[in-house]
Structure 1
Amino acid sequence: MQQAKDGVTLADIMAAQAVLRGVADATPLVPSPYMAARCGQDFLLKLENMQPIGAFKLRGALNAVANLPKGTAGVTCCSTGNHGRGVAYAAAQRGIRAVVCMSSLVPQAKVDGIRALGAEVVICGTSQDQAQAESQRLVQAEGLVEISPFDDPFVIAGQGTIGLEMLEARPDLDTLLVPLSGGGLAAGVAVAAKAIKPGIEVIGVTMDRGAAMHLSIAAGHPVEVEEVPSLADSLGGGIGMHNRLSYPICRDLLDDTVLVTEEEIYHAMQVLFFEDRIVAEGACVVGLAATLAGKLPAPRGPVGTIITGRNLDMQMFHRIMAGDDIQLGDTLVKGRRYGT
């Protein structure tokens, strides 16, 4: 059995699978004929947007909360949206308090979704680093337990169950394209996939502005990045300057990291909707975007990617589907009607 840094192993992921069984597992793995035609191999979509909270983050949050010490009064976390939703859901199931710290860049739809699950939301600053600082303050001031969105062994193990399910369903998968942010998903999937099938390619894909993990791997150590508005807002934020787990795992196990532009994300969101009839966040489609843009080598066998969530601003989604221009801070993403 292959062991990753600091003891996150296939055994840990299999233990998480038992915790999640019947609650946050067995999401569909469906083929995309359009993407298969574009890449020349079967192309599979793991539909984590079908989770009860609309995102894969429920897996890691449920596993982390299930492993909290008895008597834990409450939890806190920083989040770009979906991790906070997962923590809120898991805390409510256990009957404990949850406080989610978020930056002002997080879309209001995600803030509202977290509050609807019963968690408290604290908006602080314009970056994930500032939100994390507030979460850590709450640990000291109020005795809450912090659950990192990516640098936590139980979170990583929970996300890794996606890799298990994909290879259980399709053992012939040759390449996994994994949305890459703080690295909890990529780390967990890579540990699972490489343990089961060492020759499989696991590639992290992220937006080309504020790509914290990509830049950290290139530098050989965690680096700070400037956060900017993005269609892939769920991939925003740093990885933490003292990252213990997700950074070394991603550094050691990812075969490559690839960047995509906002225009490529925009187009891939249209492709996923018009060709596969799937509503998903911009962060979900980066694997499609890299494939459509020709940024990946020709695959040797079937390809799988993860449609990570559906918790997006629907007004923005409607504008993208209509082909409108989108203003993201100082950046204008030029739109186009699909098929023209």
Structure 2
Amino acid sequence: MRRIKISRFANASLFFILTFSQIIIVSWISISQIELENSIKIFGFFISINPFANFQFTALLVLLTAGLQIFLLALLVNIVFSNKNMIQIYPEPLYGPAHAPEETPLVEKTIELVTRISKKANIKVNKVFIFRKAVPNAFSLDLFPLPFLRRPYIVLNTNVLEILSDNEIEAVISHELAHIKNGDSLFRLVLSIPRLYINLVYLFIYLQIITGFLNVLFDTLDLALAVERAIFFVLAYAILSVVTKITVRFLYSANHQAEYLGDYFAANLIDSDVLINSLIHLGQRSEAMQVLSKEIEWLYSLRANSGL
């Protein structure tokens, strides 16, 4: 398990190194349709390299992007937890939707299981929610894993509570407690911030190239230059796509290893066989729901085509 922790750290570090290398490179390079001082013409565009010329602007954009992403995340969290089917069961909410009377046995069992396992793991959980949804899922949220600031939540879909035994539910809860213990919510947020900035910058580069291509194609009617710029676009897209795939692969690996660590923690806290059974049941249920969803869509399409 120590090897997985080291590997996760290495993957996250490589992701950061590659991502910030891309940020530095794109902040140094300028693409222009006209010749600039010390620029080099490559397939119809003039490329100039000015180290640190746009450093302050780049730093400002990174901070603005981070702020935008945090704002959107906060908005998304607010929307999710404002859903009428998202019911806070612990502690009892002072206002907002409450569970239905027929859900009382399920709610009491869930509170008892979360309380017992969190005490066993010595991890405090501030709030517990159930989400009325037929898809088997569970997640935790703890964006500020710092003393006096952390407010970890655990959310369990009602489907999970209905199809699993108590021991298997404990395994799922233990897995989510591991994410809280390891600070995975903040970990994923920090990893995603520079990636969003890079994606926006690459989109801007593509728009610059496409604009340059359309200008010579429709304004100057220079077909030879248009072909050059089209080749430049294809090459730029191919290179950036390869770099992006390599970079994101390290991100995916780090996230997968976070799941492995969660499973390992749950297996030690509960029992490995119970954990395996819960994963099998959730996998079977999820696959069945996906198949059922596709069949329903297919039946609706038949109905629409037949005019019924």
Decide which structure has the larger Cα Rg and report it.
2
| TM-score normalised by structure 1 residue count | 0.24
**Structure whose residues are more often strand by fraction:** 1
**Structure whose residues are more often helix by fraction:** 2
| Larger relative contact order, structure 1 or 2 (CA cutoff 8 Å, min sep 6) | 2
